[in-house]
Amino acid sequence: MELTEERRALRDAVRKLLASRPDPLWPRLCKEIGVAGLAVPSSCGGADATLLESHVVLAELARQLTPSPMLGSAVLATQALLRVGATGLVPSLCAGDRVATVLFAGDRVLDAASADIVLVVDGDELSEVAAADVALRPCDVLDPTRPLSVVRRPDAPARHLGSSPGLQSWLRDLACVALSAEQVGAASRAFELTHAYVRQRIQFGRPIGSFQVIQHRLAEAYLDLETATTASWTAAEALAADAPDAPALAAMARVHCSEVFQAIVAEMVQMHGGIAITWEHDAHRYLRRAHADAQLFGAPATHLDRLAATLLP
């Protein structure tokens, strides 16, 4: 997909900041680039952009497997607050001063250990509970760059923030689309690293990238990456426009991008050989992220079932 000039500039700004490896990262991403407020109205401290700009940032962060609360706090929690009209909490999230987590699809949640704000979705209703009243236990995770916690819904009183018809279903679709952006971003980087490696790895006196079988496998991986990118962006555009087919497109992106990401990192590991499974190499990190992402917000089979329900009579 060809990005607009503005989105290319956003991508390049995020990439440049990540390359400088700043500490602390998240506050600088928020204050210097404004990534947490892209899809937020200016009246709430945001940039008056859209979910498509957030899509660009999600993909860029995932290229480097950068740990950040972009997905859980800046996208899911912030958009849930905006959806129900509870804008009072939004400015601090946009500024990066606070982090939020949202319970809406099971008890394993993102960024719970560092969250200042805990949101609970119950059907169409959104409530806030005090972080101190939430019992959580960090999970053993396959991907150490994606911390998850098991959260027990508190018995303490919750502050009702608002409601919106179909909130939980809409948030599920948003999660699927946002995750697909990350999957495409990480898959594209995995492909680039593999392509560069086969051009320099010498076997039998020649680069292994000159072997026809390697060329065919890379060509198939490239085509898969292009279809995944299209699926992800098409779903994002539909969701941003509240199109009737947004749920089906979100499910399609969720399933296809998961499969493509796993397939590309499998080729990455195979083409790198034994070095790919050493701690010193990044290949195993992309493999971990691919398989962990496939189970986030529900296994692909779950979304395939609901996709089939919308397509079959």
Same domain, yes or no, for 177 and 144?
A: no
Tell me what pLDDT residue 130 has: 83
Q: For the chain, how far is it from start to end, CA to CA, in angstroms?
A: 32
Same domain, yes or no, for 153 and 23?
A: yes
Q: Which two tokens stand for residue 22?
A: 């700043």
Tens digits of per-residue pLDDT, 254-271? 999 999 999 999 999 999
What residue type is assigned to position 158 of the chain?
A: A
Number of domains within the chain: 2
Instruction: Single out the residue of 186, 206, 118, 113 nearest to residue 157, CA to CA.
Output: 118
Same domain, yes or no, for 228 and 305?
A: yes
Q: Which two tokens stand for residue 203?
A: 């076997």
The residue segments making up the domain with residue 38 are 5-163
Same domain, yes or no, for 17 and 154?
A: yes
- Judge whether residue 313 has pLDDT over 80: no
Same domain, yes or no, for 221 and 261?
A: yes
- Judge whether residue 153 has pLDDT over 80: no
Name residue 130's beta-bridge partners.
Answer: 117
- Judge whether residue 6 has pLDDT over 90: yes
Same domain, yes or no, for 193 and 99?
A: no
Return the CATH number at 286: 1.20.140.10
C-alpha 153, offset from chain centre: 24
Least confident of 53-62, 93-102, 144-153: 144-153
Of 112, 142, 163, which residue sits at a domain end?
A: 163
Tell me what pLDDT residue 304 has: 87
Q: Which two tokens stand for residue 158?
A: 């919750």
Q: What is the secondary structure of 142-172 as a DSSP string?
A: S-TTS-EEEEEPPSS--EEEEE-TTHHHHHH
Tens digits of per-residue pLDDT, 97-133? 999 999 987 678 898 888 999 999 999 999 998 888 8
Tell me what pLDDT residue 157 has: 78
Percent of the chain with pLDDT over 90: 79
- Judge whether residue 177 has pLDDT over 70: yes
Of 135, 163, 191, which residue sits at a domain end?
A: 163
d(CA 158, CA 155): 9
Same domain, yes or no, for 216 and 303?
A: yes
- Judge whether residue 154 has pLDDT over 70: no
Q: Which two tokens stand for residue 258?
A: 């998961």
Question: What is the widest separation between alpha-carbon atoms in the chain?
Answer: 70
Same domain, yes or no, for 156 and 180?
A: no
Of 122, 141, 163, which residue sits at a domain end?
A: 163
Tell me what pLDDT residue 48 has: 96
Tens digits of per-residue pLDDT, 61-75? 999 999 999 999 999
- Higher pLDDT: 32 or 313? It is 32
Return the CATH number at 150: 1.10.540.10
Tell me what pLDDT residue 136 has: 85
pTM above 0.85, yes or no: yes
Same domain, yes or no, for 81 and 176?
A: no
Same domain, yes or no, for 115 and 219?
A: no
Least confident of 52-61, 106-115, 159-168, 198-207: 106-115
Q: Which DSSP state fits 31?
A: I
Cα angle value 66/70/76 (rounded, 5°):
145
d(CA 250, CA 133): 33
d(CA 232, CA 78): 21
d(CA 214, CA 268): 11
Same domain, yes or no, for 133 and 204?
A: no
Same domain, yes or no, for 76 and 147?
A: yes
CA distances from 148 to 179, 248, 290, 292, 297 (A): 15, 27, 15, 11, 12
